[in-house]
Amino acid sequence: MKIGIAGGGPAGLYFALLMKQLKAAHEIRLLEQNSANATYGWGVVFSDRAVSFLENSAPDFHHDIKSNLEIWDKLVILHKGQPVAIDGSVFSGISRIQLLHILHEHCRRRGVELQFETRLTDPAIFSDCDLIVGADGVSSFVRQKYSAFFQPSLELRSNKYIWYGTPRLFDALSLIFRENRDGVFVAHAYRYNQTTSAFIVECDAATWKKAGFASMSDTESRTYCEKVFEKDLHGHPLLSNKSIWINFVVVRNRRWHHDNVVLIGDALRTVHFSIGSGTRTAFEDAIALAGAFERHGEDVHAALQRFENIRKPSADQLLEVAQKSVAWYENMRCLMHLHPIAFAYDYMMRGGKVDRESLRRKAPKFIAAYEAYAGPAREDRHSAIK
Ligand SMILES: Cc1cc2nc3c(=O)[nH]c(=O)nc-3n(C[C@H](O)[C@H](O)[C@H](O)COP(=O)(O)OP(=O)(O)OC[C@H]3O[C@@H](n4cnc5c(N)ncnc54)[C@H](O)[C@@H]3O)c2cc1C
């Protein structure tokens, strides 16, 4: 088969790798608009210690990723200056550029043709391909080009966020809530290598407006955020990497494929970063799509239909949790009066999928602390935010 892929993020690269692994004779060309060394942002986080969801699909790649992970075994929620630890939460992280470099190396080793600094502007370039994959991220050109068929919906959420780095090394996945005269802020902070942590600052629209970020320079924005999180940064600066304030865009598509064109990863749908699953979802799409071709050989239509049938139910479930998580952050201001333990408990309940007993099994120390504060069990599956 001849396969053309737009986008060299985790979804496109991993799909290329898996298809080449499936059949060395496949001719695969991947176009990436950026250079091999360019990346936005800082590090990605996975909600397990060993990215075990990658173990079966490409063991050698999994081995290389695993040996480069930073691992933390707790989540800390800091509210009113008091840290509350949620035990039993294991996470791992890696810098995005390192993840991409490992993917490049494995793609090259298997014979994928990688073309960097090449932006897809005309799908005719792939006219000789049996399969065209739109793995070109949240602003996907492929999705726009065939929008009449995919029928996408794009919803701009109201919170603003900005992705910084910092040399301050956080030893847990940390959610830090701070208030000032302008409103409420949260930082999502995690160390992803020996020298740097990712530090994503988020606030609601009213806070953003009142703080005046719209007219601030990069340095002014950083200085403002350094002041908000002064006690947490321990004198370390925030680092910018073309960092800008943006709104999260929820992407959905009514159809996942059209003729021999299919969307995967963020081009297909976005998963809010607060549930730490965007990169994982991109990988899982690649695994499911390659699995469909393993099953159906070169019958592109059957494979694309199978991809959608297999993948949609679990993806939809995750999206439901992600939407509730987005809404929780948009309304966090209403919860700031809560005691830190009650606040952390509400946070853990935000997705609506966890109840107290399942949380007790996962985080017995936290639930013991919560019950010492709030009293014994009452059935409460949901956050105060609906
Ligand atoms: C602030 C923030 C924090 C995040 N934190 C996490 C996290 O902690 N953990 C996690 O798992 N996920 C996280 N994510 C989500 C994660 O970054 C994405 O969900 C994931 O990278 C999706 O992979 P992808 O391959 O589909 O898309 P992308 O990684 O976006 O890759 C798409 C690629 O396509 C290229 N491209 C675009 N258009 C074209 C074109 N026309 N021609 C050629 N190339 C093109 C782009 O340059 C890009 O390299 C975060 C996202 C944000 C915004």
Model pTM above 0.75: yes
Number of other residues whose CB lies within 10 A of the CB of residue 25? 8
241, 40 Cβ separation under 8 angstroms? yes
Number of other residues whose CB lies within 10 A of the CB of residue 263? 27
Across the chain, what does the average pLDDT equal? 93
Question: What is the C-alpha separation between 42 and 44, in angstroms, rounded?
Answer: 7
Q: Structure tokens of 156?
A: 């701009």
Looking from the CA of residue 163, the nearest atom of ligand 1 is: 1
Using the predicted structure, report yes or no on whether residue 363 has a pLDDT greater than 70: yes
DSSP 8-state secondary structure symbol assigned to residue 38: -
Q: Structure tokens of 14?
A: 């991993």
**Confidence bin at 379 (pLDDT 50/70/90):** low
pLDDT of res. 39: 65
Rounded to 5 degrees, φ, ψ at 23 are: -150, 115
Q: What is the pLDDT of residues 1-52, one digit of tens each?
A: 999 999 999 999 999 999 999 999 999 999 999 999 876 668 998 988 888 9
Q: What is the pLDDT of residues 66-124, one digit of tens each?
A: 999 988 888 999 999 999 999 988 889 999 999 999 999 999 999 999 999 999 999 99
pLDDT of res. 385: 60
Orientation of helix 340-348 relative to helix 364-374, angle to 10°: 130
Q: What is the pLDDT of residues 203-251, one digit of tens each?
A: 999 999 999 999 999 999 999 999 999 999 999 999 998 899 999 999 9
Question: Quick check: helix, strand or coil at residue 70?
Answer: strand
**Confidence bin at 274 (pLDDT 50/70/90):** confident
Ligand 1 centroid to 280 CA: how many Å?
11
> E strands of 192-237, at which residues?
197-203
Question: What is the C-alpha separation between 71 and 50, in angstroms, rounded?
Answer: 8
Ligand 1 pocket test, pick from 30, 103, 273 with the greatest ligand atom count within 8 Å of Cβ, gives: 273
Question: What is the C-alpha separation between 267 and 262, in angstroms, rounded?
Answer: 10
382 vs 85: which has the higher pLDDT: 85
Q: What is the pLDDT of residues 125-136, one digit of tens each?
A: 999 999 999 999
Number of other residues whose CB lies within 10 A of the CB of residue 261? 23
pLDDT of res. 38: 79
* Ligand 1 pocket, CB under 6 A: 6-12, 31-34, 41, 44-45, 119-120, 135-137, 141, 163, 200, 265-266, 273, 276-280, 282
Q: Which residues contact 186 (CB under 8 A, 6 or more apart)?
A: 175, 176, 177, 178, 201, 202, 203, 329, 332
Side-chain-side CA neighbours of residue 201 (13 Å): 29
Q: Domains of the chain, with CATH numbers? A: 2-70+92-155+249-328 (3.50.50.60)
Ligand 1 centroid to 9 CA: how many Å?
6
**Closest residue CA from atom 51 of ligand 1:** 273
Looking from the CA of residue 13, the nearest atom of ligand 1 is: 25
Q: In angstroms, how far apart are the furthest CA atoms of the chain? A: 66
